[in-house]
Amino acid sequence: MSVVTVRNPVYAALFLILAFFSSSAIWIMLEAEFLGVVLILVYVGAVMVLFLFVIMMLDINIDILREGFIRYLPVGLLVAVAVAAEMIFVLTSDTIKTVVAPARHAADYSNTEALGEILYTDYVYPFEIAAVVLVVAIIAAIVLTHRKRDPSTKSQNISHQVRVKSSDRLRIIKMDAETKTSNKVGE
């Protein structure tokens, strides 16, 4: 809840990191240790750290953001009433059934192996399509980054650097020796 209610965006990102750790703990308690660890590594370790750096570098002025806040109050109240009504309906409903806990797995059970088996058998085509989409996105990012720029922009040309010879770069000139004149006071 603090992710959306706290006023400082840096604190909101820190509370979101805490929420990811809580979600990871739930995954681990559900015996999905691999997914819990991946959630921590990917979201907390990469995405949220990136968000924190971006938020800190933007230096957002909260007072400017609050100026037009009052005009959104009716919509916010409407959404709050709708969410509260849904929660009351769910909590007072008789359709909630008790669920029996599933049987424990065998000692040699590995949820990582089960996840891999499902991914590479039942969902092999969606998995491959996702991989191709990611590869295309990576290639597109590289192409957009390395497209031809303005000629005045400095860039490295490796083949040109390898072909260069010292005679192309250095020029030895002959000149007479110079003598240093003294600038001392009294001379």
Number of domains in the chain: 2
Q: What is the CATH number of the domain that holds 6?
A: 1.20.120.1200
Q: List the chain pLDDT tens, one digit each, 187 residues.
A: 677 888 777 788 888 889 999 999 999 988 888 889 999 998 888 888 888 788 777 777 666 666 777 788 888 899 999 999 999 998 888 777 777 777 777 878 888 888 889 989 999 999 999 999 999 999 999 888 877 767 777 778 888 888 888 777 777 888 888 887 766 665 5
Model-level pTM? Answer: 0.50
Burial 144-172 (b: 16+ CB within 10 A, else e): eeeeeeeeeeeeeeeeeeeeeeeeeeeee
- Residue pair 24/40 in contact (Cβ under 8 Å)? The answer is yes
Structure tokens at 163: 């072909």
Long-range own/partner contacts, residues 43-46 (CB < 8 A, 24 or more apart)? 44/17, 44/20
Structure tokens at 111: 């949820």
Structural domain harbouring 117: 111-145
Asked if residue 8 belongs to a domain, the reply is yes
- Residue pair 39/20 in contact (Cβ under 8 Å)? The answer is yes
Asked if residue 31 belongs to a domain, the reply is yes
- Considering the domain architecture, whether residues 58 and 115 belong to the same structural domain is answered as no
Asked if residue 13 belongs to a domain, the reply is yes
CA-CA distance, 3 to 11, in Å (whole number)? Answer: 8
Asked if residue 187 belongs to a domain, the reply is no
